[in-house]
Chains A and B, each alone.
Chain A
Amino acid sequence: MPASNGGTNAPLNLLLIPVSVIGVPFVTRGSMQTFDPTNFNDPSEPSSYFYKVEEVAAGRTPTCSRQMIMYRDLGVATITVSISGYDQNAQVPVTASETFKIGTVAATQKLCTIVRGLALTAQNLQYSIVRGANAGPVSIVKVRLEGRVEMTAYA
C-alpha cells in the first residue's frame, strides 16, 4: 500500500474560520481563526444584553432600587449595568448606570451573587448589562430586580 502524503493520525476536531487579514490596498495574509471555548474574554469586541421592558404596574411610575445578579465566577470582569426608562413628567428617556467588578482571580467556577443598589424612578424600566472588549469573562445565571410602585387607587 503506498504511503500517505502527509496528513495526521486524527482529525483536528476543530472549527476553522478561513478569513483574510486585510490591509490597504491588498489582502496581506490569510488567517485560520476559531472560537476558544476555554476563554470567554474576547479581546476585541464588547458584549451587551438588554432585558425586556417592564411596566410593573400600568400607568404607575415604579422605582427600581435593588438588583441581585447571580453569576458564575469565570475570572475578574468589569461590567456596566444600566436601568433605563421614560420620565413622563419631563418626557425624556432617563438612565442610571454603574460600573463594577465581578469574579475572582481564582476563577472558581462557583455561583456567586452580588447585590447592587442602583436606583431609577421611571416608567418602562429596562435593565441591561454591558461588558467592554477585553473586560473579562462574564456568565450571568440570574438577575432579580426589586423596587416599589405606587398602589394608591386612582380617584
Chain B
Amino acid sequence: MPVQIGKDGTWATEYFGPFAGIDTQTPENLLADNASPAFSNFLLRNKELRSRPALIEEFLGVSGGVGNPTFQLGISSFVDINGIYHTVTWARNNLYQFNPALLPGDPWVAMVGAPADMKTNTVSYRAFANSIYYACISQPVGKPRPGGGGGGPITTNPFLAVWDGIAAAPTFTQTFPDASTSQSIAGIRLTDSPTVGGSLPGGPTIVGPIAIGGQYLGELNNQLILANVMILDQGTATIYNFPNLIWWSANGLPLQWDPTQNTSAGFNAFLDVPDLITGLVTLGVAGYIFRTNGVTEFAPTGSAVTPFRFDHMWASDHGIGAVLPFSIAQYGPTAAFIAIDNIYTLGLTSATPIGGTARDAIMADLASIQLPTQPFANIIPFYKQGYVYLTYNIWIPFPTFLRHWVYSFEDKNWSSWDLQIPYVLGVTPMYCAPNVV
C-alpha cells in the first residue's frame, strides 16, 4: 500500500504479499511496495515472508574417507520393469543404489558402473525403457564463460552405461559379432571403426573399436542421443573431442550406434555454428540442442535414413544460448537455462526471459565464481511430497556458503538463499544438480 498521509500529518504504509521478490535494478525508493532491494533466506511462498526451510542432512552420502576424496556426480531414480523404484547416484567408478535398510548408516550400495574413475566429471543420465542410461566425459569445470573452460578437463574415458535395476551391476561394455569389445555400450565394432570413424569431422584414422560417450544424454523418437561427443579409439588409446557433434542410437535399439549396421543410427556434426553444444532437452515432438550462443531445434522426420531434421534457430557469433553446462533444467513442457544476458524459460513456442529485476544480481554472482566451482541448476516441483513449490533453482558455490537462487514459476519472483555448504580451495562441494527422486 503506498504511503497514505492524513491532513493532520499522520502517515501510514503497509507491506504485504504477493511479493515481487528481489529488485536490484531499481533505486530503493522507487521499488514496488511488495519488492525488496535485498533479502536472504526468506521464502515467498503463499504470500508470506517465511524463513526458509532448514537445510538438513537427510542421510549420509557416498563417502571415500579421509585421503580418498569421493565426489557425487549425479542423483536420479527410475522404475524397472517390475515396478520397483531405484534411487541411484554415482561416484568414482561406481553406480550406487540407495538401500533404506542400511539407514541410519551409509545407505549407498556400490556396484561397478564405469570403466574408470569418473573423478569430478558430472554424469548425464536418462531413464529409457525401464533402465537408467548414463554418460560421463571430461567436463571443463571452471569459471562460467562461453564454452565453459577455465579449470581444464580432467580426462576420463568416454562411455555410455546402462542398468536395468535387475542385473547385479550396470553394463558399460558391449561385445560385437566380430568378437571385439567396446568400453561403452555405445560402441562401434572393430571392423566398422575405420569406416565410421573416418567419416567423423577431420577424417581421423581410427583403428577401433570405438567407445562413444558424451557430455549430455537425451532421448527423442525412441532414440538415445549423445551431445557434445567424445570418442575413444581403443586401438590407439586416443580420445577425440567433437563438441559440436550429436550421435544417436538406432530407433528402439539403444545398444546400436553404428550407422553401417543400422541406418537409423548416426551422427551430425554442426560445422556451421561458431560455438559448442552445452546441453539438450526434448519437448513434445521436438528437441532443442543448446549451444553457447544459440539453440538448434531438431525433430523426427519419419525416415530411417535421415531420422532427424535440424534447424539452427540462430547461429550468430553472439546470441541466446546456454553458456553454463548443466544450467539447463526441464519440468514437463518447460525448460530453463542461463544465457549470457539473462535467464530464460523455453516452452513449446518461445524463449522467455525470467531474470526480471534480479537478473543483474544473479549475473554478478555467476561472474564472481572462483575456480574450480561450477553452478548447477534444476527445476524442483516439491521439497517433499505434499509441499509443492515449483521453482527453477541455481546453485552457486562460494568459499563460505552456497548461494541458492530460487525462481517461483507461480509467483514469478526471485529469492536468494545462502546455504551453509562451504568449500575449501581447490575442492568444490557440488558436482551435480540436486534432484527430486
Contacts and interface: CB of A to CB of B under 8 A. Distances in A.
A39 B53 contact: yes
Interface in B212-248: none
A139 B54 CA distance: 14
Contacts of A151: 5, 7, 9
Nearest to B81: A1
A52 to B, nearest CB: 4
A91 B298 CA distance: 62
A139 B65 contact: no
B59 interface: yes
B15 to A, nearest CB: 5
Interface string B402-437: 100000000000000111111110011111101111
B384 A15 contact: yes
Contacts, number: 305
B12 A54 contact: no
Interface residues of A, number: 81
A99 to B, nearest CB: 16
A45 B383 contact: no
A49 to B, nearest CB: 4
A55 B30 CA distance: 10
Contacts of A3: 82, 166
B311 interface: no
Contact of B98 (A5, A12, A148): A12
A13 B384 contact: yes
Nearest to B417: A45
Quick one: which of A24, A51, A143, A148 has the most chain B CB within 10 A? A51
Contacts of A16: 58, 75, 87, 434-437
Nearest to A136: B51
A5 B97 CA distance: 9
Interface of B: 3, 5, 7, 9-17, 27-29, 31-33, 35-43, 47-72, 74-75, 77, 79-87, 89, 91, 97-100, 109, 165-168, 380, 382-385, 387, 395, 401-402, 417-424, 427-432, 434-437
Given A12-B98, A131-B51, 5 more contacts: A5-B165, A6-B99, A20-B72, A30-B70, A46-B40
